[in-house]
Structure 1
Amino acid sequence: MKYVIIHGDGMADWPCKELGGKTPLEAAHKPNMDLMATRGRLGMVATIPKGMPPGSDVGTMTMLGYDPARYHTGRAPIEAASQGIEMGPRDVVFRMNLVSLKPGDGGALIMNDFTSGHISSEEAAQIVADLRTELAGGGIEFFNGVSYRHLMVWRSGIATTNLTPPHDITGKPVEAYLPKGAGADLLRDLMRRSVEILREHPVNKARRAAGKTEATSAWFWGQGTRPEVPTLKERFGVEGSVISAVDLVNGLGRLAGLKLIKVPGATGFLDTDYAAKARYGLEALKARDFLLLHIEAPDEAGHMGRADLKKEAIERIDELIIGPMLAGLGGLGDFAILLMPDHATPSQLKTHSPEPVPFALMTSAQSKAGGATARRYTESDGTATGLLVGDGYHLIESLFGRPLKTASK
């Protein structure tokens, strides 16, 4: 038996004017997703527990069957696990974005771009290396990641500082969102000094000359200490793999005991190689029985406020990933496949929101059955079923054939 989760990051949305009042899932041509919704089980799942931030760390932890209220210690520790960074029980790790700040109306600095124009990993590595040379020491360490996403570890540091995800404040003045509380003075000082280092950095000079967005500051958020979770093998008796171009998802996969599969051409952006992810995923399933396949593109489109690009990403996932996966799984024996996002990323918000999201769960037996009333994999059709998994971390149990624990709507 093979078990697959297709993780379409941030696919869920709100009705969009530019799509004629439809959500991207409603507007997209996606026959394979709709087949799963028609023949399998369709409903809604609450991935974000009440009172918790609607981030991919919380949502993906829920997707993998871990109660965030019990296991979540912060976003950055999950990414540190992906990189294999050793952490003691009192060490605190922070996500460090390379962001672009610029003067807005009245001269106040605003969050221009939390990705620094999706700076390349090669350019970012040069910047992080210089930040390490100039700022590390006294228990502060820097670790290079992918594109704009990096990490800072504060050995025996403070985990309670009030920090804000930069993607939540795009276009807003940043002063009100700078670090506050215990540990804030050190973090603000590191950010201030990073601005000085980056002002005339060779990478920024080259980007400026090319008309590209510059990386003007480090921005810290998502801090936490090392989490301890049981593996999927311990819980369900399966060996598995994870495919993602994002350290956060790979980190959760590593914590869950999954093997990280690197796919050439996987970028964590809209230009990712969708078809390669499907090919590598099917190959991984020949050796192991579980696969988490993550696609970041819909979430990135949502953060850009581009519902049209999210629709396009969903159509590519359907054609180049779900279609080939369904065809290939048929040659591997019995299977169960779950399709869902970790949260909604409404294009008009340009950030995440906490409402339940649609899921479709189909087995190999259901894939061969006919005669079901046609349904679409959309927020509205999922809601119309009346099926809601209120504690979303239970949904994975039904993937493994256990009774689905639901709540009435």
Structure 2
Amino acid sequence: MKVLFLVADGMGDWPVDELGGKTPLEAAHTPNMDQLANTGMVGRCSTIPLGMAPGSDVANMSLLGFDPARYHTGRGPIEAAAQGLELDENDLVWRLNLVTVSQLDKDGLMLDYSSGHIETEQSRPLVERLQKTMGGDTYTFVPGIQYRHLLIQKDGVQTDDAQLAINPPHDITDKPIKSDLRAFSRNPELWDVIFEAHDILSEDNPTKANSIWPWGQGSPLALPDFREHFGLRGAVISAVDLIKGLGFASGMTVVDVDGATGLLDTNYEGKVQAALEYLENGEFAFVHLEGPDECGHGGNAEEKTEAIARFDSRVVGPLRKALGNEDVLWIICCDHYTPIKERTHTTDPVPFIVNAPGVEASGLSVFTEKTADSTGLTIDEGHELIRFALEKAGLQ
């Protein structure tokens, strides 16, 4: 039996006035998920352990079956794993956003966590310029994709910087940056790096990226081997380094798809084809779509509804059609909520579908946050969802 785990990042939401009091999932046309919900099990799953921030790093680590309370060290280390960086155990790895701020002082606001969704072709030269100008024995700037990059602080694990509480920039859109600047100021050297980078990015730069934002720091990541853990040969298919890093760190195959952007215009067909090709010989494919989350951060209810509809029609539907004559375990969910109202992540338990031959059918007519809650089925620890699904399908 093949296992397909499909994740619509940030799909969960609260009722939205402009959608007539519906959530984007309720408003979206999702006949494929509705049918799988009707003939499968539906419930809610807590992907964020108590006391941890509701980030995609924590949530997707949970969904891949690893307990974040045990293995999570930070967002930066996961994305470093995606690049295969050789790190010392004492290196402190920061996720580094290229951002747009109104001004870099106590009166400044975080205007855009993504610098207008800057393209990689624009962002990479900027990070390379920072490395050439500012990189040295202590700090190394590592280019990534789009607005997502890395900053490596040598021997930083042994410093107080490892404990700095910095807000993810997507959590403070249009909000003051004063408290974070206060935290950065505790390390004069890091403070100088941030301000010098701001000066460099403010010169001869046609993009919206006028500052850097280090956050999500931690020591290098170590995860158990996925195949040894679950007895399945697995792959991850995603546009974002976060998911790729989790895959690399757990010994999974990481499939790159041309044209996968992490946005509404991503290469849906390419991701479907990549999953089908992998499952010809592999057993488990984790297919991740970032689009709903980005629309949630943007506060755009119509686009988020469209992103969910495309997930259903251009990912779930084609996979159902292609695998219609085969036994498949379907696991479908989101990693966390990204409510339009909040424009950031929350800890709400997420709705999920588990569908495989022989599982108890819910009989639900639609798949929504509300119907998932109505079944009373809850999984309190997100890292147990895979095991739960495998057991229900008779694979464990």
- What TM-score, normalized to structure 2? 0.94
For 1:44 and 1:107, how far apart are their aligned partners in 2? 41
Report the CA distance between 1:274 and its aligned residue.
1.4
Return the offset for 1:330: 2.9
Q: Distance in 1 between matches of 2:99 and 2:150?
A: 13
Question: In the alignment, what sits opposite 1:222?
Answer: 216
Q: Corresponding residue for 1:74?
A: 74
Aligned residues: 390
Partner residue of 2:385?
Answer: 395
Partner of 1:320: 314
Q: Is 1:124 paired with 2:123?
A: yes
* In 1: Cα distance, 2:303 partner to 2:106 partner: 32
Compared with structure 1, are the counterparts of its residues 42 and 402 closer, same or farther at alpha carbon in structure 2 (3 Å cutoff)?
Answer: closer
Aligned partners of 1:244 and 1:294 also within 8 Å: yes
Letter in 2 for 1:384: S
1:84 counterpart SS class: coil
Distance 1:330 1:174, change over 3 A: same
- CA 384–317 in structure 1, closer or farther in 2 if over 3 Å, else same: same
Contact in 2 for aligned 1:330/1:364 (Cα 8 Å) = no
Query: What secondary structure sits across from 1:361 in the alignment?
Result: strand
1:275 is displaced (CA, Å) by: 2.0
Could you tell me which residue of structure 1 aligns to residue 235 of structure 2? 241
1:110 corresponds to 2:109 = yes
Separation in 1, partners of 2:390, 2:349: 22
State whether structure 2 residue 350 is matched by structure 1 residue 360.
Answer: no
* Aligned alpha-carbon RMSD (Å): 2.0
Pair 1:337 & 2:330 matched:
yes
1:55–1:352: 8 Å Cα contact kept in structure 2? yes
Conserved? CA contact 2:357–2:393, under 8 Å: no
CA positional deviation for 1:236: 1.4
C-alpha separation in 2, matches of 1:221 and 1:179? 14
Task: Find the aligned partners of 2:146 and 2:184 in 1 and give their Cα distance.
Answer: 29
Counterpart of 1:95? 95
Q: For residues 83 and 329 of structure 1, what CA distance do their matches in structure 2 show?
A: 32
Q: Distance in 2 between matches of 1:303 and 1:261?
A: 26
Q: Which runs of 5+ in 1 are unaligned?
A: 208-213, 405-409
Cα deviations by residue, 1:30-56 (Å, 9 ceiling, x for unpaired): 000111111100000000111100000
CA distance in 2, matches of 1:396, 1:183: 42
Change (3 A) 1:151 1:179: farther
Q: Does 1:383 align with 2:373?
A: yes
Amino acid at match of 1:396: I
User: What code does the residue aligned with 1:200 have?
Assistant: E
Aligned ranges 1:189-228 → 2 under 5 Å: 189-201=192-204, 204-205=205-206, 207=207, 214-228=208-222
> Shift of residue 181 of structure 1?
7.1
Whether the aligned pair in 2 keeps the contact of 1:162 and 1:179 (CA below 8 Å) is no
Of residues 36-45 and 151-160 in structure 1, the stretch that sits farther from structure 2 once superposed is 151-160
Match of 1:86 in 2: 86
Counterpart for residue 280 of structure 2: 286
Where do 1:248-327 residues align within 5 Å?
Answer: 248-327=242-321
Q: Percent identity?
A: 44
Please give the per-residue CA displacement for 1:14-37, whole angstroms capped at 9, x wherever unaligned: 100110000001111100011111
Name the aligned partner's letter for residue 177 of structure 1. D
Q: Label 1:339 to 1:124 Cα distance change in 2 as closer, same or farther (>3 A).
A: same
Cα shift at 1:196: 0.6
CA contact (8 A) 1:179 1:187 kept: no
Tell me the residue number matched to 2:64: 64
> Could you tell me whether the CA contact under 8 Å between 1:397 and 1:403 is conserved in 2?
no
Gaps of 5+ in 2: none
In structure 2, distance between residues paired with 1:148 and 1:84? 19
